[in-house]
Structure 1
Amino acid sequence: LRAAGYYTTNRAKTDYQFGVPFTIWDDLGRAAHWRNRRDRTQPFFAVFNIEVTHESQTFPTSPARKGKPLVTDPATIDLPPYYPDTPAVRQELARMYDNIADMDGRVGEILAQLEEDGLADETIVMYWSDHGDGVPRAKRSLYDSGLRVPLMIRWPAGMGATFVPGAVNDELVSAVDLAPTTLALAGLPVPVHMQGRVLVGPHAGPAPAYVFAARDRMDIEYDMMRSARDRRFLYIRNFQPELPYAGHIIYRNQSAIMQEWLRLQAAGLVRGAAALWMRDRRPPEELYDTHADPYQIEDLSAAAAHRDTLMRMRGAVQDWMTRIDDQGLINEPEMVQRMWPGGVQPTTAAPYIVPRMSTDAPARPATLAVAGPTELVIYVPTQGASIAWTSETGPEPRWRLYAAPILVHGPMTIRAKAIRYGYKESPETRLEVTAAAPSARD
């Protein structure tokens, strides 16, 4: 999108694990906004992470909770059967619902800003969550409580949409579909290597038979799970069945629900469906009929009547893992050694800035004399790296994503840097473009 001329902003979460390549966003931070673009006619792609519904905001120690009485009545909550029914559990779920209401108001503020700027009728709005409820046995799990999320797409009537307002699409959708969908809606080609399908519009792909999910290490706890979901059944493969269901995740232990669950477990007071998630071991496979069992309580993996379904979905997961070249079976130390040999983080190579018509061997000259309009190309030897450039000379320039040759007409400074995911940022290459001295014939 940025290469196509979009102003890209992110407020403000960047949990990428490898740091934040400077080539991704034009505007990143707590104040990032489409309103910050210099050219108000420039198209934009703006991400707003509304973190009031993050799991941390339900913790008893959360500063966001201080002085805020509950609005949701804990007694009226429809409690999922896999939770212990105690006041502490109900109060934390009530806080979660209060946070959702707060988040809804903040979404309304963003939509109102689009209206104020006259952009509402020419802006596509996509609303979704990164995972299910931010509470134990939901977030980090492969059950529907952890994977099923809201997704709404508003396509303004002024953009020639043929969708019926309020229409519901019940096809299986995965989060990996959002990237190709966004590119297609922006009129851009979807790279062949990109996973997922286009969800809406003239380039929409066919509905899949399955959507897939994965869970690996969570904080300090190693694990490996894969799942397939069709319209009725959920299949889970536990590659480490010797591990307990709940596991030991220190951060999650700040949850009042988790503390209550562990307290009851230690006292031998957990009963019924609430005891299932406290078990010390898991089966190698799990299978659930989500129509008959929406909370995934009854595991059918050992049921003879569902053996064909089990084998079909087992095969689907195996095929998917092969197709995407799943790296989960490689242990992390070996993975790190492959990426950072000897534990040393590689550095992205410095870019070359050269005339497009150059016939010389690659070099990084400090100056370049031009006699007229000249196209410059920038390239970097590090495969998979992205490049940004600027003609500004100050300490905090505006970096532009390099996507096409740069046309220069006379003296100016060109600076370039590159970055590959997981690598250190490259050294900066600087080229001073000067005017060529007139020839004798001139």
Structure 2
Amino acid sequence: MKIKSQIILTVCLLVTIIVKAQKPNIVWIVSEDNSKHYMELFDKNGVKTPNIEKLAKEGIVFTRAFSNAAVCSAARSTLITSTYGPKLATHYHRAEAKINLAPGQEMFPSYLRKAGYYTTNNAKEDYNIFKAENVWDDSSYNATWRNRKKGQPFFHVFNIGTTHEGQLHFSEEDKKNNKTKTDPATVFVQPNHPQTALFRYTNAFYRDKIVEMDSEVGEVINQLKDDGLLESTIIFYYGDHGGVLPYSKGYLTETGLHVPLVVYVPEKYKDLTIFEPGTKTDAFVSFVDFGATVLNIAGVEIPKNMDGKPFIGKNVTKKVINKRDYTIGYADRFDEKYDMVRSIRKGKFKYIRNFQPFNPDALMNDYRYKQLAYKEWEQLYRDGKLNKVQSKFFEPKIPEELYDVEADPFETNNLAANPNFKSTLKELRTTLNAEILKMNDLSFYPEFYLLQNAFENPKSFGETHKKSLKKYLSIANLEMVSYKKATSKLQKYLTSTDAWERYWALNVCSSFGEEAKEFTAKIIEISNSDTELINKVKAAEFLGITKVENPSKVMIKALYESKDKVEALLILNSVVLMHDYYSNYSFNIQEEKLNDVVKNSNQIKRRLAYLVVN
């Protein structure tokens, strides 16, 4: 009897050891284009999502989870590398060319495959990176964990497109024929939006889509349950960046970056998290951390060249979690629209740095304005029917913005000039500048220049040029001092032999506008004789903003001379800016005079078509 008991005990111990040795399965359920603001689990103005709420009761709710970019390809490129996009040049949407990862850096699922995981993606990738063959065992609409070897652990990504921006591209006829399940009269319309019937309908329609998405989340969870895998699988549910109501996707607003995140860790793997089931945490996590977290859960060593830090898994202590108190955001080109914006959210405060504040957020983007709500919002602005808060989207920005997003979640009250928040402003500005320098943010070079010179190894290019990048940042930051303090340095940099020092000096002059008119003669000279076409255009941009000179002749001439479609796209950004927001300058562009490479670009065609109609 004693021997039998010992055998049973030994078997139980062996089973326990084997079970503990089994690596967890990991599933990502990803919904496209929805921030946390439209789900009751995270926000009082949201709808019920019973499947996600059930997962939350048994899992962990992260109340401060963020995408680092506010648009698909830039966000997903950060996810798949666990590395900041501006360091790798993966932060433009969409890439005009795929980048090469530096030697020794891979998309993180490849490390899982090496560790024996079966990796599948169903089915969206959308990375601005050349795909390596060792990333996925299957990436397709048929991809499933069910094709793995018996007992093999798996990492599976399931993408849900039900809430994607394109779903809101309905017509007036569609609107008439389709009533929403959510009552438009009951929905919350954020204060910087017009309080109109169309905006209420759009909000209701979008919330209906979120309810549909929740059902699809439930289907994936049920498949795991049916396969007997629920208790051996760690599940992440999250949105792939912010929502698609106007001024969300593509912008570094909270509605553009703050995503829902729920993580379910079964009892079997409770030792991998410090959080109890059914709890909430205010720890800051962002997409740059997700890949590192998955590797940590799987017991795979995290490569040192990743920027992300794990928030679940071995060695993640309360002390480590409590130090997670900020997140970085970045926005640059969104399809054919250019801007350069960086942000940092720390605690309840959000700091936004607009590097080209003369660009209104509303600058035309074809895909965005397919949404009726955007069209109506613009028309109401043109008709003078919006209040100050609602009009902000269509007007030039200022270099710095600071918001208390707990008191002001839709970022309507800029505290940057408020003396009571001077220390907070300085702290966040300093931290963001340090992060920009740490990552060797490549956006201080124009995109076309990076394509020509850096795309073979952007990370190495950034390391090699870090001193120049630091200088360009210091020039750009002249926007934040008084014009009197900036004058002598602008004089120096406008005459620099470094083309990109001149480029940033011109941007700073445009930011100061009328104050910088003393440089008019020099800037006219640049517009006529600079070695870089884009600097001629940037000079003309200043002359147009200050109404010194019609910029159209210089800009059109530069457009005809350009042999690079990405350079030409940046030129057209200035053209549309001048056409729509500064004295409505006219541009008679003759397409037959464009270089063939330029005229065949779809992005260029969209810009030209818009200018013809408008």
Counterpart in the other structure of 1:191 = 303
Distance 1:222 1:181 in 2: 32
Q: Secondary structure at the match of 2:351?
A: strand
Distance 2:305 2:174 in 1: 42
Q: Deviations over 1:305-335 (max 9, x none)?
A: 2111111111001100111121111111110
Distance 2:213 2:164 in 1: 10
Distance 1:3 1:65 in 2: 50
Q: Secondary structure at the match of 1:228?
A: strand
Residues 15-34 of structure 1 correspond to what in structure 2 (within 5 A)? Answer: 15-34=126-145
* Residues 58 and 65, structure 1, Cα contact 8 Å, conserved in 2: no
C-alpha spacing 1:124/1:75, structure 2 compared with 1 (3 Å): same
Counterpart in the other structure of 2:421 = 306
1:109 aligns with 2:219: yes
Q: Secondary structure at the match of 1:124?
A: strand
Counterpart in the other structure of 1:365 = none
- Out of 229, 233, 238, the position equivalent to 1:128 is 238
Alignment-mate amino acid for residue 284 of structure 1: P
Distance 1:66 1:24 in 2: 46
Q: Secondary structure at the match of 1:53?
A: coil
Q: Secondary structure at the match of 1:168?
A: strand
Distance 2:300 2:173 in 1: 43
Counterpart in the other structure of 1:145 = 255
- Out of 375, 378, 403, the position equivalent to 1:262 is 378
* Residues 57 and 64, structure 1, Cα contact 8 Å, conserved in 2: no
TM-score normalised to the size of structure 1?
0.73
How far does residue 340 in structure 1 lie from its aligned partner after superposition? 5.6
Counterpart in the other structure of 1:333 = 448
* Residues 132 and 146, structure 1, Cα contact 8 Å, conserved in 2: yes
1:85 aligns with 2:195: yes
Distance 1:64 1:336 in 2: 41
Counterpart in the other structure of 2:330 = 214
Alignment-mate amino acid for residue 21 of structure 1: A
Residues 411-422 of structure 1 correspond to what in structure 2 (within 5 A)? Answer: none
Identity across matched positions, percent: 38
C-alpha spacing 1:191/1:63, structure 2 compared with 1 (3 Å): farther
How far does residue 140 in structure 1 lie from its aligned partner after superposition? 1.1
C-alpha spacing 1:64/1:257, structure 2 compared with 1 (3 Å): closer
Counterpart in the other structure of 2:507 = none
1:174 aligns with 2:316: no
Q: Deviations over 1:321-357 (max 9, x none)?
A: 111121111111110012468xxxxxxxxxxxxxxxx
Counterpart in the other structure of 1:323 = 438
Larger helix proportion, structure 1 or 2?
2
Distance 1:181 1:78 in 2: 35
* Residues 240 and 259, structure 2, Cα contact 8 Å, conserved in 1: yes
Alignment-mate amino acid for residue 382 of structure 2: A
Q: Deviations over 1:147-196 (max 9, x none)?
A: 11101110011224463221001111111111111111111111111112
Alignment-mate amino acid for residue 143 of structure 2: A
C-alpha spacing 1:313/1:340, structure 2 compared with 1 (3 Å): closer
How far does residue 226 in structure 1 lie from its aligned partner after superposition? 0.6
Larger strand proportion, structure 1 or 2?
1
Counterpart in the other structure of 1:380 = none
Distance 2:219 2:261 in 1: 19
C-alpha spacing 1:62/1:176, structure 2 compared with 1 (3 Å): farther
How far does residue 246 in structure 1 lie from its aligned partner after superposition? 1.9
Alignment-mate amino acid for residue 192 of structure 1: K
Distance 1:160 1:227 in 2: 34
Counterpart in the other structure of 1:388 = none
Counterpart in the other structure of 2:344 = 228
Counterpart in the other structure of 2:184 = 74
Q: Deviations over 1:341-390 (max 9, x none)?
A: 8xxxxxxxxxxxxxxxxxxxxxxxxxxxxxxxxxxxxxxxxxxxxxxxxx
Distance 2:224 2:286 in 1: 27
Distance 1:241 1:160 in 2: 48
- Out of 140, 148, 154, the position equivalent to 2:264 is 154
Counterpart in the other structure of 1:100 = 210
How far does residue 19 in structure 1 lie from its aligned partner after superposition? 4.8
* Residues 121 and 143, structure 2, Cα contact 8 Å, conserved in 1: yes
Q: Deviations over 1:261-295 (max 9, x none)?
A: 0121122212242112121x110111111232122
Distance 2:231 2:201 in 1: 40
Alignment-mate amino acid for residue 113 of structure 2: R
Number of residue pairs matched? 339
C-alpha spacing 1:15/1:77, structure 2 compared with 1 (3 Å): same
How far does residue 3 in structure 1 lie from its aligned partner after superposition? 1.3
* Residues 189 and 199, structure 2, Cα contact 8 Å, conserved in 1: no
Q: Deviations over 1:185-221 (max 9, x none)?
A: 1111111111121112332234333211111111111
* Residues 56 and 62, structure 1, Cα contact 8 Å, conserved in 2: no
Over aligned residues, Cα RMSD in angstroms?
2.0
Q: Deviations over 1:128-163 (max 9, x none)?
A: 112111222111111111111101110011224463
Q: Secondary structure at the match of 2:328?
A: strand
Distance 1:69 1:269 in 2: 27
Distance 2:243 2:281 in 1: 22
* Residues 171 and 372, structure 2, Cα contact 8 Å, conserved in 1: no
C-alpha spacing 1:77/1:21, structure 2 compared with 1 (3 Å): same
* Residues 6 and 42, structure 1, Cα contact 8 Å, conserved in 2: yes
TM-score normalised to the size of structure 2?
0.53
Q: Deviations over 1:27-48 (max 9, x none)?
A: 11112111233x1321111001
Which one has more relative contact order, counting CA pairs under 8 Å at least 6 apart? 2
Distance 1:68 1:226 in 2: 39
Structure 1 portions without partners, runs of 5+: 342-442
Alignment-mate amino acid for residue 230 of structure 1: K
Alignment-mate amino acid for residue 452 of structure 2: Q
Counterpart in the other structure of 1:6 = 117
Distance 2:223 2:258 in 1: 29
C-alpha spacing 1:340/1:212, structure 2 compared with 1 (3 Å): closer
Alignment-mate amino acid for residue 412 of structure 2: I
C-alpha spacing 1:64/1:265, structure 2 compared with 1 (3 Å): closer
How far does residue 18 in structure 1 lie from its aligned partner after superposition? 3.5
Distance 2:418 2:289 in 1: 33
Q: Deviations over 1:77-121 (max 9, x none)?
A: 011101101111111111110110001000100000001111000
Distance 1:160 1:335 in 2: 46
* Residues 283 and 325, structure 2, Cα contact 8 Å, conserved in 1: no
* Residues 10 and 25, structure 1, Cα contact 8 Å, conserved in 2: yes
Q: Secondary structure at the match of 1:2?
A: helix
Distance 1:237 1:61 in 2: 36
Q: Secondary structure at the match of 2:281?
A: coil
Structure 2 portions without partners, runs of 5+: 1-111, 457-614
* Residues 12 and 49, structure 1, Cα contact 8 Å, conserved in 2: yes
